[in-house]
Chain A
Amino acid sequence: MNGDLPAAEVTDDEWLVRFILFSKWIRRSDNTVKQEAFIPSPKNLELSVTRRNALSEEALWQVGQEVADTRPSKLYGRADLRAFHARNQSLQVRPDPQPRNQNHAVITGWPQDDKPGQKLIALELAKAAHYLPNPNPTPTLDNMN
């Protein structure tokens, strides 16, 4: 598919995208994203992201909308940050292509059994991230028809 990266190693300068599907993760006061958006999954201590580099803006938002549609949820926006921000927190970033998202990656290496440590790292990632609201919000699947 055009714009897809092969599953090559994620470089430090590469942009990673975290899609925001919960409204309370966004600060309306200054359009920044909260640390909650960067807390890893409790199931496997991995944080799911999408690699931005070769995708057009339209294609990237489409990926986010497809993530939202599978839930179904509303895509409020996305938070972009470079891979080196995660590595600066002693985390690892590795490709993890999925059938529905060939540009999927995961951020791993979170401190285990250390919720405050995870929160502190998430605060740093949120501080480094740049929030972009969804320019084309669409209805969720459950309120169509």
Chain B
Amino acid sequence: MTLAMIGQAFPTSTASGTDGCGESARYIEEQIDNIRQKDLQRPEFYFPVMKEVLPDLMEVKSETAEAGWDGYNACAIRSETFDRSVEFLESLPNTVATPTVSAEPDGHITLEWYRSPHRVLSVSVSPEGDLHYAALIGPNKAYGTEVFFGESPRVILDLIHRVSVA
């Protein structure tokens, strides 16, 4: 239904608020509410970073299911590691850039935020929920471990921002 059709069905009225104006407003408000309700049911509405990364995460999970996936001695990625990665990605605010996904020979899933070889952050997710990170930001370096308790650690959010800015 176009706005013109809506206007014909519910003609405008004076500021004193006749039935026509009230009905138009109510109709439009109902349509907005319907759209909002549909949005709230979509998981990507809550976890936009997850939505972007999930296909690659599933691909990594599939390709690392067996030991030796790297051609050398890599450990298979455990389901717990995948679950912790999903939880961490869901905790990220929708203001952060989308990372790329990979895996390490010790069975950790990695998330990388990258601008150049001199501006890069890599976060490894362990099956226990440890977030091991290392970053190069120009001449500066940062590295350490944060335990994930359900909220994105502030230090990692700060490093994502510092790597991502122009």
What 0/1 readout, one digit per residue, does chain B (115-136) give for beta carbons within 8 Å of chain A? 0011010101000000011111
Question: Cα distance A86–B136 when bound, in Å?
Answer: 17
Identify B136's interface contact among A24, A116, A127, CB under 8 A. Answer: A127
Q: Are A119 and B134 in contact (CB under 8 A)?
A: yes
**Which residues of B sit under 8 angstroms from A2, Cβ to Cβ?**
none
Asked whether B51 is an interface residue with its Cβ less than 8 Å from the other chain, the reply is no
**Which residues of B sit under 8 angstroms from A29, Cβ to Cβ?**
114
Nearest-Cβ distance from residue A140 to partner chain B, whole angstroms: 11
Interface size class of B (residues with CB under 8 A): 35 or more
Asked whether B33 is an interface residue with its Cβ less than 8 Å from the other chain, the reply is no
Asked whether B81 is an interface residue with its Cβ less than 8 Å from the other chain, the reply is no
Q: Are B114 and A27 in contact (CB under 8 A)?
A: yes
**Which residues of B sit under 8 angstroms from A19, Cβ to Cβ?**
71
**CB-nearest residue of chain B to A20:** B71
**Which residues of B sit under 8 angstroms from A122, Cβ to Cβ?**
134
Q: Are B75 and A71 in contact (CB under 8 A)?
A: no
Identify B73's interface contact among A23, A35, A41, CB under 8 A. Answer: A41
Residues of A that sit less than 8 Å from B by CB: 19, 21-25, 27, 29, 32, 34-36, 39-43, 48, 67-68, 71, 73, 115-117, 119-120, 122-124, 126-127
Given A67-B71, A116-B133, A120-B134, 9 other A-B contacts at CB below 8 A?
Answer: A21-B71, A24-B56, A24-B59, A25-B70, A39-B104, A43-B73, A73-B69, A73-B71, A124-B136
Please give me the 3 A-B residue pairs with the lowest Cβ-Cβ distance, nearest first: A21-B71, A119-B134, A116-B143
